Amino acid sequence: MIKLKINGRERSFDGDPEMPLLWYLRDEIDLTGTKFGCGAGLCGACTVHKNGEAVRSCQTSMKDAAGKSITTIEGLSPNGQHPLQKAWMEANVPQCGYCQTGQIMQAAALLKKNHKPSDKEIDDAMSGNICRCGTYQRIRSAIHAAGKEMA
Amino acid sequence: MSDHIENGLVENGVVENISRRSLIGGVFSAGALVLAARILPEEAWADTNEYHGKAASSALRPSIYLGIEPDGTIYIVTHRSEMGTGIRTTLPLVAADELDADWSKVKIEQGIGDKAYGDQNTDGSKSIRGFFEAFRESGASARMMLVSAAAKQWNVPESECAAKFHEVVHTPSGKKLGYGALATAAGKLPVPKPADVKYKPKSEWRYIGKESKIADLADICTGKATFGMDIKRQGMLYASIERPPVMGGKVQSFDDKAARQVKGVSGIETIDGFKPPYTFQPLGGVAVIANSTWAAIQGRKKLKIEWNNGENAAHDSEQYRKELLTTARKPGKVVRNIGDVDAAFAKASKTVEAEYYAPLLAHATMEPPVAVAEFKGNKVECWVPTQNPQAVQDTVAGALGLKPEDVTCHVTLLGGGFGRKSKPDYVAEAAILSKKQGGKPVKVVWTREDDIKFDYYHSVAGMYHKAALDSNGKATAWLHRSVFPSISSMNDASSMYGFDVEYGMGLNDMPWDLPNHRAENGPAKAHVRIGWLRSVANIYHVFSGLSFADELAHAAGRDSLEYQLEMIGPGKIIDFKSQGVANYWNYGESYEKFPFDSKRLRHVLEVAGEKSGWGKRKSGNGWGLGIAAARSFTSYVASVVEVEVDKAGKIRIPRAWQVADVGMVINPERVRSQFEGAAVMAAGIGLTGEISVADGRVQQSNFNNYQVARMNQAPMQTDVHIIESTALPGGVGEPGVPPFVPAFANAIFAATGKRVRDLPFSKTKLV
């Protein structure tokens, strides 16, 4: 039996310990804000926080998540008002929106460590997250804006 | 043009009051005022099905549907699919503006697939172009009926009453009635005839031309938005399918013993391969059914399948490239002819020629294809991220021997579309499996590898250009040959040539005002599924054509912008008919309403020159600007790309400019976002976009070897400048892609002196 905490709530799981956390979140407990994009850690759509660090949930097995505290987009802010979410809305970042939850989770991990990232630091932190609609310049400006609010 | 807008003509549309029709139920309570703008005559209105309760309207042939409830809530149905353009918000804004509605009281409903809505295929950048007028008429008609109802109630002349922000006001007395309070009475009035509909003057527009946020913004940012991938039904099973590695291949035999051992796997089913032509039929294969996506994928890995690969097993991209370019050296089918290029070449003081090549591309939407289907009582209900719900109905019906009306297609949000999700092969898979599983709902999830390996690929093309210059360097003749496996192979297995749609995307509609010009198309057979991808044949035609224009400018020792303007000439409405273009497609629009006006193309080029500071800094030493312009989807766009190439040959795009004349703009914020995004997609096409085939099998599999632009490769900043215009709205989603790619290539030439004629640029060593 694997025990873990998801968005502050204790959960237990007795299925295949090799199953990626992504599919547990999506198929088993219906937290579908975390998206499936590549299954190979190449696109970032499935990004969540594991003990506060951004990880790819498609590359994190349930075994690896055991005993850990996981935060998904649903748990980032109780009312959807994380500075990044507000900045995202203010800058009208999303187009189709599919990758954006992963982008926000990746950016949230960056800002936790660094409220004033440079363009280069943002590019380095965010280049593992693909947006096929091409919203990158707005993502960058929204991260700057949110960082200011958090500083 | 502007007259046309001001008068608000709706050529075919008719607005009909349907509030007393018995079929309206669901969200619309009795007494609601309901309007539907429709395209077809009343006798063509089909009877309804049970799902119209919710999106009510729709037994009619409405191109829009609008209802006002006695509580003042306005329901607007969007029948087009939302894949990131903002259309789910933008079309309702048009109706709400004419209605002078309070946007916070508007509820948007997504229409199911139904012919009654008119065209629902959300591609071709045509949602606004095709439905702006109908939505506008619907809103205006509702407003007039509300005013009329209020005037009757107050017993005053209508001329003394005006609709203002969800209320009708009697101006002399200041009396007011809300839209909700008037809805029931207004619903009993006749709908104004199209010719009698009065439109707001532009000065009173409340939403059109203003910045508006998309309706799904907060849901997207909090993870609540529902995409196709997020659908779950009671008792749903998950399926992962192993498909034939070679297009047209079949399962010869398979061993599923190990797959069945995987925990969670509950069944194995086969799906037949398609009967040529491939159309939207599934590719076939072996499906593993399980109680979770993960278990289905794990089971699938254990399948042992022997394939009969068929005739495409020898297909090889390297070999094919040679064939296409060899064919492009030979005369082809003439699709446009002005003057006599051969005579002009014979007496030219200089000729220039070049071969260009552009590879296959995959769509790689962030949400891979996915569908949920439930087969119940000889009917199918499905939940799909689709650009074309009516094609879903037809395809699923075809696969299961049903009637299209027996297939209900609910449309979710799409995690990207780009043309892939117009082709519902993946929905047919889910429906077939649900039926085979006794009607249990089945979700078919394509892995990224499935998506990259089994796409309907954007076509590969080989092109040849030759031009004549006179002694002053002025272009006098241009021969443009293009050879590509056609999208028409989808419906015709013997197809060897392109068709009007592909010709009319940068082959037979180049803007040059030259005395001699000939465009030709040579034969090519398809060995993979070919489909359309954002801006379609424009990608290879405009890349090669506008790169070659830049080559000519350099051959003539002239500035590229100046030279392109000179070749366009002073600007005019191009008369394709007199130039041997038998059937100019014009993106499906009437030429009278949407002519090719090369003055507008000149203008975007000139503005792009100004905005980018063209000619102010000397190119070279690893820095350069490139420029190109094209008309596509009835819009006119110029791109300027700034590149830096470092000593290792690494390309960076510090800045780009997109200047767009898309006619009238409804939501400038969403127009800008589309042109920013197009720059990113085009940058990826230029840098690394390539699908290749060996032994009939696609060689790429995921984002490691099919690379799309990431944040550190995309333009650091794209400035979008929208030209003020009163012309009818043109396309927005696609036109930002075509000119960007050659502008990028031209910038690389400016920076390095290397002319890159092969896409992607990563294949060429730049330093």
Q: Inter-chain contact B223–A37, Cβ cutoff 8 Å?
A: no
CA triplet B173, B175, B181: central angle to 5 degrees?
A: 160
What are the tens digits of pLDDT across the range B180-235? 999 888 888 888 888 899 999 999 999 999 999 999 999 999 999 999 999 999 99
Give the H or E element holding residue A135.
Answer: none
Say whether pLDDT at A80 is over 80: yes
pLDDT number for residue B52: 41
Residue contacts between A and B (CB atoms, under 8 Å)? 191
A26 contacts on B by Cβ (under 8 Å): 230, 293
What are the tens digits of pLDDT across the range B623-645? 999 999 999 999 999 999 999 99
Compute the average pLDDT of residues B130-154.
91
- Reported as a pLDDT band with limits 50, 70 and 90, residue B62 is very low
B:440-499 residues touching chain A, CB 8 A cutoff: 445, 447-449
Say whether pLDDT at A23 is over 80: yes
B161-164 β-sheet, strand order? B161-164, B167-170, B175-178
What are the tens digits of pLDDT across the range B586-633? 999 999 999 999 999 999 999 999 999 999 999 999 999 999 999 999
| Percent of chain B clearing pLDDT 90 (strictly above) | 85
| Percent of chain B clearing pLDDT 70 (strictly above) | 92
Task: State the nearest Cα–Cα gap between A101 and chain B, in angstroms.
Answer: 6
Q: Return phi, psi of residue B599, to 5°.
A: -65, -40
Q: Inter-chain contact B711–A122, Cβ cutoff 8 Å?
A: yes
Best of B224, B687, B711 to substitute, by most chain A Cβ atoms within 10 angstroms, is: B711
What are the tens digits of pLDDT across the range A26-53? 999 999 999 999 999 999 999 999 999 9
CA triplet B361, B365, B370: central angle to 5 degrees?
A: 120
**Across the interface, which of A28, A42, A133 has its CB nearest the CB of B84?**
A133
pLDDT number for residue B33: 53
Query: End-to-end CA distance of chain B, in Å?
Result: 50
A104 contacts on B by Cβ (under 8 Å): 221
- Reported as a pLDDT band with limits 50, 70 and 90, residue B35 is low
B298 contacts on A by Cβ (under 8 Å): 16
CA B353 to chain centre: 33
The answer to whether residue A107 neighbours chain B at the CB level (below 8 Å) is no
Best of B210, B211, B222 to substitute, by most chain A Cβ atoms within 10 angstroms, is: B222
Helices and strands (H, E) in chain A, number of each type: 7, 5
Q: What domains appear along chain A, each with residue ranges and CATH number?
A: 2-76 (3.10.20.30), 83-150 (1.10.150.120)
B:43-82 residues touching chain A, CB 8 A cutoff: 82
Q: Inter-chain contact A96–B416, Cβ cutoff 8 Å?
A: yes
Best of B292, B366, B443, B705 to substitute, by most chain A Cβ atoms within 10 angstroms, is: B366
- Reported as a pLDDT band with limits 50, 70 and 90, residue B27 is very low
Task: State the nearest Cα–Cα gap between A136 and chain B, in angstroms.
Answer: 6
Compute the average pLDDT of residues B507-533.
98
Say whether pLDDT at B530 is over 60: yes
What are the tens digits of pLDDT across the range B663-702? 999 999 999 999 999 999 999 999 999 999 999 999 999 9
Identify which has the larger pLDDT, B582 or B611: B611
By the 8 A CB rule, do B287 and B318 touch?
no
CA B397 to chain centre: 25
Q: Inter-chain contact B704–A42, Cβ cutoff 8 Å?
A: yes
Q: Inter-chain contact B366–A96, Cβ cutoff 8 Å?
A: yes
Give the chain B residue whose CA is nearest to the CA of A79.
Answer: B222
B:143-172 residues touching chain A, CB 8 A cutoff: none
Q: Inter-chain contact A132–B418, Cβ cutoff 8 Å?
A: yes
Alpha-carbon torsion (A22, A23, A28, A32), positive or negative: positive
By the 8 A CB rule, do B125 and B114 touch?
no
Give the chain B residue whose CA is nearest to the CA of A99.
Answer: B366
The answer to whether residue A26 neighbours chain B at the CB level (below 8 Å) is yes
The answer to whether residue A103 neighbours chain B at the CB level (below 8 Å) is no
What are the tens digits of pLDDT across the range B236-268? 999 999 999 999 999 999 999 999 999 999 999
d(CA A63, CA A68): 10
pLDDT number for residue B291: 97
Compute the average pLDDT of residues B538-562.
98
Q: Which two tokens stand for residue B302?
A: 């254990």
B:259-288 residues touching chain A, CB 8 A cutoff: 263-264
Say whether pLDDT at B55 is over 70: no
Best of B83, B219, B221 to substitute, by most chain A Cβ atoms within 10 angstroms, is: B221
By the 8 A CB rule, do B75 and B107 touch?
yes
- Reported as a pLDDT band with limits 50, 70 and 90, residue B19 is very low
Q: Inter-chain contact A36–B82, Cβ cutoff 8 Å?
A: no
Task: State the nearest Cα–Cα gap between B90 and chain A, in angstroms.
Answer: 13
The answer to whether residue A95 neighbours chain B at the CB level (below 8 Å) is yes
A:52-71 residues touching chain B, CB 8 A cutoff: none
B:690-719 residues touching chain A, CB 8 A cutoff: 702-704, 708-718
pLDDT number for residue B133: 86
Say whether pLDDT at B20 is over 50: no
B:76-95 residues touching chain A, CB 8 A cutoff: 82-86
Task: State the nearest Cα–Cα gap between B158 and chain A, in angstroms.
Answer: 41
How far are the Cα atoms of B84, B217, B229, B452, B670 from residue A96, in angstroms, in the given order?
Answer: 3, 10, 13, 20, 12
Q: Inter-chain contact B712–A20, Cβ cutoff 8 Å?
A: no
Q: What is the DSSP string of A78-101?
A: TTS--HHHHHHHHTT--SS-TTHH
A40 contacts on B by Cβ (under 8 Å): 448, 702-704
The answer to whether residue B689 neighbours chain A at the CB level (below 8 Å) is no
From B33-47, B98-112, B370-384, B439-453, the region with the lowest mean pLDDT? B33-47
- Residue A29: closest CA among B232, B430, B290: B232
B703 contacts on A by Cβ (under 8 Å): 38, 40, 42-43, 130
Strands B74-78 and B106-110: parallel
Q: What domains appear along chain B, each with residue ranges and CATH number?
A: 2-210 (3.30.365.10), 228-311+369-445 (3.30.365.10), 317-361+456-763 (3.30.365.10)
From A10-24, B26-40, B143-157, B290-304, the region with the lowest mean pLDDT? B26-40
Say whether pLDDT at B38 is over 90: no
Give the chain A residue whose CA is nearest to the CA of B217.
Answer: A89
Q: Inter-chain contact B708–A132, Cβ cutoff 8 Å?
A: yes
d(CA B151, CA B242): 66
The answer to whether residue B295 neighbours chain A at the CB level (below 8 Å) is yes
Note the ipTM here: 0.99
pLDDT number for residue B9: 31
Say whether pLDDT at B60 is over 60: no
- Reported as a pLDDT band with limits 50, 70 and 90, residue B114 is confident
By the 8 A CB rule, do B140 and B132 touch?
no
What are the tens digits of pLDDT across the range A89-138? 999 999 999 999 999 999 999 999 999 999 999 999 999 999 999 999 99
Alpha-helical segments (H) within B443-587: 448-453, 500-503, 538-555, 560-568
